A and B are shown apart, each in its own frame.
Chain A
Amino acid sequence: MRWFLDMCIILYYISEGDKEIFIKKSQKFVNEKKENKFLLCYYIKDENIPKWLNRQKVLFRELIKQISNSKYEPYSSEECKYLYDKDKKKLIKLIAYFRDVSDKKEIIKKFENAFQEIEFRVNIFLKEKIDEFVIPISEIDFELKSHLFTFLNLGSPIKNDSDAKTLASAIQEHNKNSLTILTADKSDWNEDLLEEVNYHFNLKKKYPELPKIKYLQDF
């Protein structure tokens, strides 16, 4: 079976702790790969993962600013526009976690090591677990991506261009060679969304086949 992986599968696989059930499920699924093939789109590899890594760096710089300068107004830095509310919650957790560490340099060292470890694990995953990278970014069908974008997070002011690009890549690849999408995002990625392709005259002709979506939580 050919599995098209969402970025969250990688992030869960490389994570730590036992608080989230997805971590164990992702590790179990990947480690029991057997004859399955894992696919990843170039968009996730070349844009989305680097973007995610950069956001973690912004988050960390914000952490240093907040803990080392009492006059600093939280999130006043220009680059904080790249942070989401969920990132701000993580920052609160990090500050709480390091509340008793007075040596700020130790925090920096630990964070740099943790960041390096994340990069290391991502690289190993890409090298050892992915069998094929598919759909170069330049080949993502703009019309398909835009159509998916319209119906993603319908009604919400927050639109997700990354999801649209990833799903467009999956549909394009599926029409060349059958695949199944694997994600943990039940709220945004669903077959109703993919069905929207069938309501578009051009796209329906271009992409007559739609991939199935499976969820990590159901394994």
Chain B
Amino acid sequence: MAIKQTRKTPQQIEEKILSLLKKGPLSTKKLSDILKSNWSTINNYLEELKHDGKVREIYSRENLKVYVRSDYPVFYGLPLEDKKFNDSLFLLSKIIETWQEKKKEMINKTTMQKIAVNVIKKNSFDIPVVRFHYGKVLTTFLEPERYRETITIYGVKEPPISNKIIKAIEYEIEKEEHSNIAWKEKKKQYLEYPDMKIFDLSDSISHSISKSSIDLQKMLSLFYDVLLEIPTNERYSYLFKQYHEFIGAVNFIFNSTQFNSSDEDKKNCLKEILDTFSSLWQALTTEFFFEDIEPIIDKEFKDIMQFIKDSKVKTHCFEIEERLNNLLEYKKSLNPRKVVIGEDEKKIIEILLEGANEE
């Protein structure tokens, strides 16, 4: 008797693709191999899913296209080892539940992440933590309002150490004074971890620039502090250089005769300065993120991760250069105020200008 082979409907194929993508990003080629279909057919389905907002393309070069589910809860859609992915989401979901149970309110995302980091660090759990725009976070994220849906979709299971994790969460929520206010939680983390100093400084800059009366010297001093915290290795060389250009321009602008002449100009200029600083900050913390996540990314995916990183960094660099150019153009239109320089500055000038006949 002949076996009747049933042909899958387009809906079934799309569901299968979405199901396979629960494990993380996959290429069109890989999906077509698994589904025993040709590249072009699968590509059409993926384009359709993309159009419906169910998947997004994270890599595209020549014939290689990589997709991830739109709801895939890892920053930048990067693939994580199964265990790390599962345990990370389990931890976050239990924090949401425990907070709800103890505090009778929905936890905010920042507090959730900060508690998670403390639980991992204090108990040495094997769950990755990375630095990102607002400090240390997990590589995964959950929306507290829809977390059940996500953990169901991704089949998050109780890990063997679930009891230990739950106890640690309860302890952290009960004993360590966490609040449901994002900025307080950020500050708490920045003060708790020595490598978070640069984040604290960045926060202080945003805070000081938003005040009604701005202490320019204090702000300049904070900008200098940040320079000293930017890593000096080659990886950060571009950002170090651009940040140095930035503080050079800010120092000049603050010392110009025109800067204090009109409140309106001053306000606009401070906004430009803050925007430039934010662009630099976004680029720097993106670099932090990739530096921290790189060691846990599978070798097979390293090239794609590099591509994702490069495209993010490129966008940030473009923004930095545009904003920095605006500041430098503005600087050109200003007259510097003559400042009295001390003996040290004179000595620096003397050293730098030595042997000028060889220039």
Contacts and interface: CB of A to CB of B under 8 A. Distances in A.
B232 A111 contact: no
Given A105-B221, A105-B228, A185 B349 contact: no
B350 to A, nearest CB: 4
A97 B345 CA distance: 11
B233 interface: yes
B240 A109 contact: no
Given A16-B346, A93-B351, A114-B352, A57 B244 contact: yes
Contacts of A109: 221, 224
A112 B345 CA distance: 9
A86 B339 contact: no
Given A56-B352, A90-B352, A119-B252, A16 B240 contact: no
A118 to B, nearest CB: 6
29 contacts: A7-B359, A11-B353, A11-B356, A12-B357, A14-B353, A15-B349, A15-B353, A48-B359, A56-B352, A59-B352, A61-B240, A68-B232, A76-B234, A77-B234, A77-B237, A78-B234, A78-B237, A90-B352, A97-B351, A105-B221, A105-B224, A108-B224, A110-B348, A113-B251, A114-B345, A114-B349, A114-B352, A117-B349, A186-B357
B350 A19 contact: yes
Nearest to A9: B356
Contacts of B225: 105
A65 B233 CA distance: 8
Given A15-B353, A56-B352, A116-B339, A61 B241 contact: yes
Q: Which 9 A-B pairs have the closest CB atoms?
A: A11-B356, A184-B357, A17-B350, A114-B348, A65-B232, A15-B353, A114-B345, A8-B356, A16-B350
Nearest to A109: B224
B248 interface: yes
B237 to A, nearest CB: 5
Main secondary structure of the interface of A (DSSP, over half): helix
B222 to A, nearest CB: 10
Given A16-B347, A48-B359, A110-B348, 17 more contacts: A61-B240, A65-B232, A68-B232, A69-B232, A72-B232, A77-B237, A108-B224, A110-B345, A111-B348, A114-B346, A114-B348, A116-B248, A118-B353, A119-B252, A120-B338, A184-B356, A216-B357
Interface of A: 7-8, 11-12, 14-17, 19-20, 22, 48, 52, 56-57, 59-61, 64-65, 68-69, 72, 76-79, 86, 90, 93-94, 97, 104-105, 108-120, 123, 183-186, 216
Contact of B336 (A11, A61, A79, A119): A119
A108 B255 contact: no
